[in-house]
Amino acid sequence: PLAGAGNGSHKELEKAGLLNKTKIAEGGRKLRKNWSLSWVVLVGNSLVFFKDPKSQTPSNWKPGNSRPESSVDLRGAQLHWANELSSKKNVFKLRTVTGNEFLLQSETDSLIKEWYKTIQHVIEKLDRE
Ligand code: I3P
């Protein structure tokens, strides 16, 4: 199991790993793409992004041992496959209620499908609350 999972905290660590990430809109305003490798952690209702992925691995990551670059509230968020928005393959777009938009990408088909499924599951769970 992932470090931090099932530790009794109400913020369950659901998934963690490396993805290519770029923010493409902030509050509905389009931004210039700037792809970078990001350590992505799905914990509770949030997707949390960390820099410096080299110092992070799934087995040693613990909540609170490094400062997040940014964090996305998944409540009310929308997820769509978005291969038309990039020359890269395996791209999906995450849009927050506040109008922030991110593209996430992996070269590994199975990995990106798992991320999509897991994030969608959390969004749907929050929609039902
Ligand atoms: C962008 C960069 C991105 C590319 C984007 C380019 O150029 O090459 O990687 O997105 O394409 O504009 P620059 O570095 O000069 O900003 P993809 O890799 O996702 O295709 P786009 O403008 O068609 O989105």
SS (H, E, C) the chain: CCCCCCCCCCCCEEEEEEEEEEEEEECCEECCCCCEEEEEEEECCEEEEECCHHHCCCCCCCCCCCCCCEEEECCCCEEEECHHHCCCCCEEEEECCCCCEEEEECCCHHHHHHHHHHHHHHHHHHHHC
Beta bridge partners of 50: 39
User: Greatest CA span in the chain, whole angstroms?
Assistant: 42
Q: 35 in ligand 1 pocket by Cβ < 6 Å?
A: yes
Report which protein residue has its CA nearest ligand 1's atom 8.
Answer: 33
Confidence (pLDDT) at 1: 44
Report which protein residue has its CA nearest ligand 1's atom 13.
Answer: 33
CA of 88 to the centre of ligand 1 (A): 10
Confidence (pLDDT) at 11: 67
Low-confidence ranges of the chain (pLDDT < 70): 1-11, 52-65
State the sign of the Cα–Cα–Cα–Cα dihedral 91, 11, 61, 1: negative
CA of 80 to the centre of ligand 1 (A): 19
Pairwise CA distance, residues 58 & 41, whole Å: 9
Confidence (pLDDT) at 68: 85
Enter the pTM of the model: 0.85
Q: 87 in ligand 1 pocket by Cβ < 6 Å?
A: yes
User: How much of the chain exceeds pLDDT 90, in percent?
Assistant: 74
The ipTM (two decimal places) reads 0.93
Q: 34 in ligand 1 pocket by Cβ < 6 Å?
A: no
